[in-house]
Each structure stands twice: as C-alpha cells, then as structure tokens.
Structure 1
Amino acid sequence: MKNNYCHIYLVRHGETDWNVKGLVQGHSDIPLNENGRWQAKELAKKLARINFAAAFSSDLIRAKKTAEIVALEKKITLKTIAALRERRFGRLEGKSHKEGETAKELAFLWSKLAKLTDEEKKKYQLEDVENDEELMARFIPALREIAIAYPGKNVLVVTHGGVMRAFLIHLGVGDEKTLPPGSIKNTSVFKIDSDGVEFWVRNIEEINKNQ
C-alpha cells in the first residue's frame, strides 16, 4: 500500500569562508565561497535521480544559494522560510569557535548540555544564544507545514548544520557526544519521512558517502 509520507531531503548548505576560518555564523548572512558553490553543483548531481515536487531553504544566503543551484537543475521554484534559519548565536557571531573567549563559552555550553537531562537541555540558556527549545519551536512547525502540503512527494529543504544537529538529537538519532558540534558536514543529506506530525530518519548513505 502506498504511503502518504512526505519525503524531506534535509540538506546542510555549502561551504562559506567563515566555515573555513572557524567563525560562528548563526544568523549572520554569509555567502557561499567558491568551494561551496562547487559543492552545491555536486549535490545537484547526487540528487539528479530524485523527482522533487518543491524546494525550500532558510532565507540566509548560504542556504538559499545552495538550494537555488539544485532547484535550477530541477526546474522547480524555491521558497525561503525564515524559521529554517541556523541557531541564533547573538554576540558570539563572527568570532572564532576554536580560540579565545568564544571557544571557552561554547565549550562550556556543550559540556554543560552533556550533563543535563533532556528537558533541562531544551531550556538551558547561554546569554544571547537561542536554546534548543526555542530552536525546535520554530523549526519543527515549519517542517510539519511542508510535510502536510506535500504528502507522498519528495521535497528539498536546505538549512544549517546546527539546527540539523539539534533536530536529529531531538528525534533521538544521537546525543551531544555522538553528534558533536561540526559533525554534520557541508551539503550532507538526510532523508526524513513525515506524516505532518511525526518524523522518521531514513538511511541514505549512498548520498552522503562522498561527503
């Protein structure tokens, strides 16, 4: 029997110069670099066999451009949704997450989260940084709306590594230790099936194997 699940291909955007430099991006609107544009073109080739009914991305240029390159190949219209944005990092944006005070604050955040219960993690707040509860409160409803609108269809959704990581942890696919920050690489793809309420992660290693 044919199911009516929406098949969401959830993708992280291509590389930016801030990715290379190890700078916190968050809501900062940083464009793809040359390698990022190449990655997006390679992604389009990997997804060539998928018949997409629609394409969505966050409204940040790095996700939007990645999606545009794939959508152009598919001849489908791209729609942007602000709720698909990366986690807001506030005053930490533009600073290195590998060194200095920012690195210390982020290390404290991740180590603190690792020790909290699931419910405590959702509400834990580092000043100026969007917590998991706030993040999922905008991200999940956006995905549900897409799933409800496209039952039985394939849909491309290009978003960001941090929000993808939080979503996968929310679904129980991993935790703070098995899915550490930075574990979702540029243009990685996850297939998510949804009935508009629940979500199920499907294995598509054949798409990610060359990442």
Structure 2
Amino acid sequence: MNARWAGRRAGARLHLVRHGQSTWNAEGLLQGQTLHVPLSPDGVKQALTVAEALEREPVGEVWTSDQLRCVQTAELVAARHHLRVRRSVLLREQCHGIWEGTPVAGRAAVLAAADPDWAPAGGETPRELLGRAGRFLGALNAGAPHRVAATGPDVVVVSHGETIRALFAAALGLGVERMPTHIPVNGTVHTISPGPVPAEPAPLDHRTASRPEAERIT
C-alpha cells in the first residue's frame, strides 16, 4: 500500500520540483532513467529561478533523484538553505525501457493512454511507478521528527514529470487510476500543503518559476 505523506499532519509542506530543462528535453528525446543527461543553459536558468522562489520557505531537507538533471537542479536549491542534497534512486523517472533515447514525438500519446499495467519492453508500468513513489514517502515519513526540529519542516523533492505525478497521488493516498494527467513543465514547483484531502483533489497546485514551452515527457 502507498504511504501517504505524514508531513501533512505535522504542518509541513511538500514542494515537488521538476528539474530544469535538460539537453535531451531541448532535443525532444525520451530520457526516462538515462542518468547522465545535464541541464541545458536554459535549464540552469530555470533551476536558479526555482531556487530563488523557494529561498524564503522553511526548508529542512532537499531530496533529489540521482539523475544528473535533477542533482544539478537540487544543488542550486539546497545552496540557498545551506543544506546538503540527499539522493534517492526511488525518485528516478519512470523507466521507458527500449524507448529511451528515441524521439518523444509519437511516444507521448501512447504513454498517456497506456493501461496502468503496461510499459514498453524493459520499462516500468504506472502502477509500479506509484508503488515506488509510495516507498519513498514511507522513508520520508520516518525522518519527520528530526526534520521538524532542524532548520524547517518543509521538504523539497526534485524529480521528474512522471514521478511527480506519482508522488502527488501517493502523498494523497490516490490509486493509480486517479493519478493526475497533467505532467509539470520544467522548472515548476508543485506544493502539497497541510490539511484534509478533498474528495476530489484539484489538479497539481503549482507555481511556475519559469515559463518554458511545455515538455510532456521527461
């Protein structure tokens, strides 16, 4: 079962950040779990804008996927709070198997309409992705008492478009059928605030730190 985010009960917020534009985003290539794709020059600017947007928030931890485009984004955010970046493989992007490194065009619509238990050969299904997001939140919940007593209660998580959808659903206790359909664009912050979960959660609540052309798949 997916672990809801316990920080909602402790007055903390969860800031879900999609990494800045990568070089493969700019080239229109499907990245998935390809590790060493860096930020583009525009992506660095987006990451700096995200860091500025979160600078005054009471952030106690900054977590990131271990994929380079996220690490580079997270380091800029963490520097504003004098925090070290914590990495987790559980925050990696959804694996797209044999499709990784191929053009996004023609793939995005197939992935968006796919059955929750389907993936390209060697890839990860949406249901598996949601389970992975829940495992990350379970680990995050375990560290909540230390975090609230440290520099601040809020948590920043830098991840990828598909994974942020799954984290949002897991944090609110939603099933795979109710995962948001919206994939956040590069350089946006999606904040989950304390309070009761509504019967029909609204689409991802976000603040746009920059306004690049929408990237449908990371």
State if a TM-score over 0.5 links the two structures.
yes
Paired AA for residue 146 in structure 1: L
**CA offset at residue 6 of structure 1?**
3.6
Identify the residue that residue 110 of structure 1 maps to in structure 2. 112
Identity percentage over the alignment?
27
Contiguous gaps of at least 5 residues in structure 1: 114-120
Match of residue 20, structure 2, among 1, 14, 21:
14
- Residues 1:41 and 2:48 are matched in the alignment: yes
Identify the residue that residue 118 of structure 1 maps to in structure 2. none
**CA offset at residue 18 of structure 1?**
0.7
The two structures, once aligned, show a CA RMSD in angstroms of: 3.3
* Mapped contact 1:59–1:80 kept (Cα < 8 A): yes
Match of residue 121, structure 2, among 108, 127, 142:
127
Distance 1:16 1:176, change over 3 A: farther
* Mapped contact 2:67–2:92 kept (Cα < 8 A): yes
Aligned length: 192
- Within 5 Å, give how 1:42-191 maps onto structure 2: 42-98=49-105, 103=106, 106-111=108-113, 113=114, 121-150=115-144, 152=148, 153-168=153-168, 179-180=181-182, 183-191=183-191
| Partner Cα separation in structure 1 for residue 24 and residue 85 of structure 2 | 25
Which one has the bigger helix percentage?
1
Distance 1:202 1:9, change over 3 A: farther
| Partner Cα separation in structure 1 for residue 131 and residue 178 of structure 2 | 19
**CA offset at residue 94 of structure 1?**
0.9
Distance 1:194 1:136, change over 3 A: farther
* Mapped contact 1:191–1:202 kept (Cα < 8 A): no
Distance 1:194 1:91, change over 3 A: farther
- SS of the aligned residue for 2:116 comes to helix
| Partner Cα separation in structure 1 for residue 26 and residue 128 of structure 2 | 28
Distance 1:148 1:201, change over 3 A: farther
* Mapped contact 2:20–2:39 kept (Cα < 8 A): yes
- SS of the aligned residue for 2:13 comes to strand
* Mapped contact 1:190–1:202 kept (Cα < 8 A): no
**CA offset at residue 47 of structure 1?**
0.9
Contiguous gaps of at least 5 residues in structure 2: 1-7, 212-218
Identify the residue that residue 27 of structure 1 maps to in structure 2. 33
Using the size of structure 1 for normalisation, the TM-score is: 0.77
Using the size of structure 2 for normalisation, the TM-score is: 0.75
